[in-house]
Structure 1
Amino acid sequence: MEALAVRLSGLDPYVDGAIRIVGFYDTLMRRRVDLPALARASAGLAECVAGIRLHGTGRTIRVSPHGTEASPPQQPASTTAPITLDDEEIGTVWLERAGSPGPLDEVLLDRLAIAAAAAVERYGPARTTMADPALVELAISAGSDEAARARALRLLGFAPDLPVYVVAVRSRLPLDRLGGLICPARPVKAAPLADVGVILAATVDPARFPADVRAGIGAAGSPDRSWRQARTALRFTTPREPVVRHTDLGALALLAEVPRDAARDNADVAAIGRIADNADDMEALDAYCATGSLRRAADLLHLHHSSVARRVEQIARTLDIELTGPTGLTRARLALTVWRLHND
């Protein structure tokens, strides 16, 4: 193969240049250089600014041909290539060449992307966000023994002394992107499991969930218990409260244990079912139950309080519950919650 490469390089200057680039990056990889060193070497080789960005952490490295940090603003990329690891795109590399791309820029970036993936795998941050679903299930299953669970967590990249939160999510966003958003700088793994996405993270920032994501967050501790808590919390999510921590539910979490038949036979829950097809009634009842005040519910709904008062009065007649009293309001809140737990 080497003899063939030498013969080809003698016939075609492009091939000669490509082979030299491949050898250049092979040497860098054998020396186990890190991302900043790769960027410096690439910028020097390309004689223009070279950049590396990791999606999971947002880390960006831009280096000038002189080996120093490139000054802002970032120029439009002349050529780009994805960094992939375990079939997941984890970042991007690019060149900022003035004018047209060079004839060997694509080859250079292809090798840079391969070298960057190897550096990420070797030095971190966490290799890839997506994990083997079987390994994640082993880590969170109640049927796993502690030795198997500890091994699964170790293989997933979680040290024994690291806290592990389990998050149950329903989202149109790819799980790897979501994991990177809520836990940008610490270990995080994700996998689809049945009809829900599972994220294991060393920390979780609820404020970083996008608006259209439903998520239940379990407490740190044993992953199997955190998983049960996360699934329960996910059941309590609503459009008004799309992200729920299990620790914030308190005694309300007990409602998730009410059997379906018992819920269906309860008069208050059955009454909620009678208005469930009327979206306006359900929205008004939800706002009133959430605030306990007609005026605050009206503000929430962007309606005049007299309109909300008439609607709540009509709902009260349908439910046969006196909603203006504390007992009736509590009954309505509980009934609405239980109905949602079994119908959402």
Structure 2
Amino acid sequence: MEALAVRLSGFDSQVEGAIRVIMFYDTLMRRRVDLPALARASAGLAECVAGIRLHGTGQAIRMTPDGRQAPAPPPPASGTAPIVLDAEEIGTVWLERPGPPGPLDEAVLDRLAIAAAAVAERYGPAGTTMADPALVELVICSDSDEAARARALRLLGFSAGLPVRVAAVRSQLPLDQVGSLVCPARPVKAALLADVGVLLTTAIDPALFPAGVRAGIGAAGSPDRSWRQARTALRFTTRCRPVVHHDDLGALALLAHVPQDTARDNPDVAAIARLAGTPEDLETLDAYCATGALRRAADVLHLHHSSVARRLEQIGRTLGFELTEPTGLMRARLALTAWRLLDD
């Protein structure tokens, strides 16, 4: 390659420069550099600030020619190039040269983009929790073809063949914080889609969700199926049961598919709707249905069991059946669950 560069230099110095740029990046790739090292070397070659950003992380790496991180805020780029992997744009590279672009900037950007794609494919995205929502949506969408889903999973850092589990989350806490808490030793990617947070991971511990967070967890396997299960499980969460695994719902999951008009017309569900006008009664019924025992419900409510017994007796009259009987408890649980699923 060097002999070819010397021979071509006699014809065109620009050709020699472009070939030397190619040789420079070939050497970097043989050394298996990471993205910061790639940006640092590119800045030294171009003698100006060089930057790299992957869409999957959103984090920009900007290096000065002397090898330090460039100060913020960045000036406008003098030249940019897309990072493309498997025909999809996964990021951007750029140079921040004062004044007009240099004669070899186009060649530098072209080779920098190719090298960045190779590094991203080799090492995966940086160790961050938040991810590009478009990539996450591509993973969980039922309309995605398997090739596109596999590429998106790889760009998000998931190895091929690993079963992915999806959780649907509603939380006032930052989603990346929730993801780091529930998956401390596993890769996890998070994104907010509309009003629901999405967590992608290979394993998740339901017991690690922090207080105040509601989450539905799908089964490991196909991400689009796991997402549908997670959304369904999220609808079944309550104050007493803030985290629900779809596998634990069993036949109760069928209630999510009952037409809402049918549910509203049911006498038991209509009675729960009337009861909802008294939050104290609804809270008592919720605690009793969740625990299945008067004294345990009293513990949850921090009340004496005789007070809870009086409330349940009054609630039973409102509903029209005896709550302390097994059949009555089952009817109350089903009606309360069906009512919660309305308009959810």
TM range (shorter): 0.5 to 0.7
User: How many pairs were matched up?
Assistant: 246
Aligned 1:305-324 pairs, distance under 5 A: 305-324=305-324
Query: 286-295 or 195-204: which moved more?
Result: 286-295
Contact 1:288 1:294 in 2 (8 A): yes
CA shift in 2, pair 1:149/1:233, >3 Å = same
Q: 1:156 aligns to what?
A: 156
One-letter code of the match for 2:202?
A
One-letter code of the match for 1:174?
P
Q: 2:210 aligns to what?
A: 210
Query: 220-229 or 168-177: which moved more?
Result: 168-177
Partners of 2:283 and 2:59 in 1: how far apart? 41
Q: How far 1:294 moved relative to its partner? A: 1.7
Secondary structure of 2:342's counterpart equals helix
Partners of 1:288 and 1:88 in 2: how far apart? 48
Query: 132-141 or 267-276: which moved more?
Result: 132-141
One-letter code of the match for 2:188?
V
Q: 1:72 aligns to what?
A: none
Partners of 2:208 and 2:274 in 1: how far apart? 36
Q: How far 1:324 moved relative to its partner? A: 1.8
CA shift in 2, pair 1:287/1:109, >3 Å = farther
CA deviations 1:53-85 (Å, max 9, x no partner) are xxxxxxxxxxxxxxxxxxxxxxxxxxxxxxxx9
Partners of 2:68 and 2:323 in 1: how far apart? 66
Query: 153-162 or 312-321: which moved more?
Result: 153-162
Q: How far 1:161 moved relative to its partner? A: 2.2
Contact 2:57 2:125 in 1 (8 A): no
CA shift in 2, pair 1:31/1:296, >3 Å = closer
Partners of 1:140 and 1:87 in 2: how far apart? 20
CA deviations 1:2-31 (Å, max 9, x no partner) are xxxxxxxxxxxxxxxxxxxxxxxxxxxx99
CA shift in 2, pair 1:289/1:31, >3 Å = closer
Contact 1:167 1:218 in 2 (8 A): yes
CA deviations 1:219-269 (Å, max 9, x no partner) are 000001000000001001111111111111111111111111011100000
CA deviations 1:310-332 (Å, max 9, x no partner) are 11010011111221211111111
Contact 2:164 2:221 in 1 (8 A): yes
CA deviations 1:98-153 (Å, max 9, x no partner) are xxxxxxxxx99957xxxxxx9x9886785322222111111111111222211221
Secondary structure of 1:158's counterpart equals coil
Contact 1:126 1:187 in 2 (8 A): no
**Percent same amino acid at aligned positions?**
73
Query: 222-231 or 123-132: which moved more?
Result: 123-132
Partners of 1:237 and 1:289 in 2: how far apart? 13
Q: 1:175 aligns to what?
A: 175
Contact 2:269 2:335 in 1 (8 A): yes
Partners of 2:304 and 2:192 in 1: how far apart? 44
Contact 1:125 1:187 in 2 (8 A): no
Secondary structure of 1:324's counterpart equals coil
Q: How far 1:163 moved relative to its partner? A: 2.1
Q: How far 1:302 moved relative to its partner? A: 1.5
Aligned 1:1-344 pairs, distance under 5 A: 32=33, 86-87=57-58, 126-343=126-343
Q: How far 1:196 moved relative to its partner? A: 0.5
Partners of 1:186 and 1:287 in 2: how far apart? 34
CA deviations 1:138-195 (Å, max 9, x no partner) are 1111111222211221121111122211010011222222221111232211111111
Partners of 1:282 and 1:343 in 2: how far apart? 18
Partners of 2:124 and 2:143 in 1: how far apart? 31
Q: TM-score, normalised by structure 2?
A: 0.65
Secondary structure of 1:215's counterpart equals strand
Q: TM-score, normalised by structure 1?
A: 0.65
Contact 2:124 2:154 in 1 (8 A): no
Q: 2:74 aligns to what?
A: none
One-letter code of the match for 2:337?
T
Secondary structure of 1:151's counterpart equals helix
Contact 1:191 1:198 in 2 (8 A): yes
Contact 1:294 1:308 in 2 (8 A): yes
One-letter code of the match for 1:136?
V
Residue segments in structure 1 that go unaligned for 5+ positions in a row: 1-29, 36-84, 90-106, 112-117
